[in-house]
Amino acid sequence: MRQLGCYARQLFGLRFPTIGLLIEGDDGYCIDECLSPGYVLQDRETIEELPRGPFHNEVDYYCSLATALRLHAEQLPMEHHVLRAPVPIPEEYTSFAKYYTATDRWNDFVSLGGMVDSSVNRLQYCLASHFLQDSIIPGMVCPVNQLASGFPLNHQDISLQNLFVDDGLNITCVIDWAFSSTVPPAQLLAPPGLPHPRDLVSDLSLIDAFRFGFETKNRKIGEYVITSSHWKIGQMVVRFMRLVNLDALQDYSHLEALYVLAQGSGTPGDDGDDTNSLPAILASRAMTHDALLLASELAADDESESEICRREKNYFDAVGAKRLALARRVTVAAKMNPRFVADGRLWRWVDAVMECYDRTGSDELEESSAEKHITSGLGVGKGSTSP
């Protein structure tokens, strides 16, 4: 990771006047419209009204990517992306058995009502796009005089398959530069995801190693002064890119982390005033006139109720009535609480409840008892988002 930090600093100094794809033309190299992942993956190349550059400033570039997220939500399949129900990941659970159980329950939950491609879920991503543009992007822009002018070159696909390493663990070659592009400087101030670019590096020792390599090379080269605020913006950019690219499992977690970083101190809502929490903000935005109009437009493209019911029946005939009963209880809680988020806290709590039922020898979820546990545990009607 130290070596990657050194290489990032070398690229950091290769500046170009605009943001876009580096191509070779008859008169040498030039910058063309962006072909980075946020513009082409998951059929996004079919979106006609998306501005693709070249961009002359960071704000236009970031806003274009936020727009790509919104247009994707309006027009393209959402695959596994449910904003208010991030996909479980192994790190959230004490064993792989509990993780696998959580993924089963997540699949059960999102299978009800055709949640993934529903207008309700699509609207949440549209609201997130607007939130990024007016509340997050302004905090991701460095004044030009702080990191000099121009935009550095970025590989766009640093992954294990594109790195050649010798027996001494020295990186000897980086291949596959076909989609190398110029980017805002802060995009080079975060360690690349390994083994795949979508993987967020959270190990502090790896982050420190990357920064050490970057700063060591920077001291030798000179020219730029990197401060803590620049590293913070780098943290924001790396999460922003994973969110707008829809190239992660936990979009809500990235959005929440961006909100916390943008606020600068503490987690909004932790002081007991949850009106400033992210779920509360999204719930408030969902009730605006423009959001209600958009919700109506998106609902026109929802699957028919008969098709949704057919899919549900096929799915739950395969997994069983007990899992259907539990999924319905969670869905009831979600519908009663507009600030509901089905994240790891929920699935760990559900697991604890189900273990309690198993110890008592109950084969079925009793209607009143289960609903009481879920609604009280999730704080329905009290504004909480999960246990």
Instruction: Write the pLDDT tens digit of every residue in 298-320.
Output: 999 999 999 999 999 999 999 99
Give the tens place of pLDDT for each residue, 42-56: 999 999 999 999 999
Question: For residues 164 and 171, is the Cβ–Cβ distance under 8 A?
Answer: yes
CA distance 54 to 19: 5
If you average pLDDT over every residue of the chain, what do you get?
89
CA 29 to chain centre: 33
What is the signed CA dihedral for 137, 247, 55, 130, rounded to 10 degrees? -40
The sign one gets for the Cα dihedral 141, 199, 270, 333 is: positive
Q: In the beta sheet, which residues pair with residue 25?
A: 28
pLDDT exceeds cutoff 70 at 4: yes
Residue 372: the pLDDT is: 54
Residue 384: the pLDDT is: 45
CA distance 102 to 98: 6
pLDDT exceeds cutoff 90 at 368: no
Map out the domains of the chain with their CATH numbers: 2-76+131-279 (3.90.1200), 90-115+287-377 (no CATH)
């009607």: which residue's tokens? Answer: 381
Residues whose CB falls within 8 Å of the CB of residue 337, separated by 6 or more in sequence, listed in order: 378, 379, 380, 381, 383, 384, 385
CA distance 387 to 374: 9
Residue 149 CB neighbours (<10 A) = 9
- Grouping H, G, I as helix, E, B as strand and the rest as coil, residue 101 is helix
The sign one gets for the Cα dihedral 267, 272, 274, 279 is: positive
Q: In the beta sheet, which residues pair with residue 29?
A: 24
Residue 379: the pLDDT is: 47
Own/partner long-range contacts of 111-114 (Cβ < 8 Å, ≥24 apart): 111/311, 111/312, 111/315, 111/316, 111/327, 112/312, 112/327, 112/328, 112/331, 113/308, 113/312, 113/331, 114/302, 114/303, 114/307, 114/308, 114/311
Least confident of 188-192, 271-275, 293-297, 307-311: 271-275
Question: For residues 90 and 100, is the Cβ–Cβ distance under 8 A?
Answer: no
pTM for the model: 0.89
As given in the structure block, the two tokens for residue 151 are 């935009």
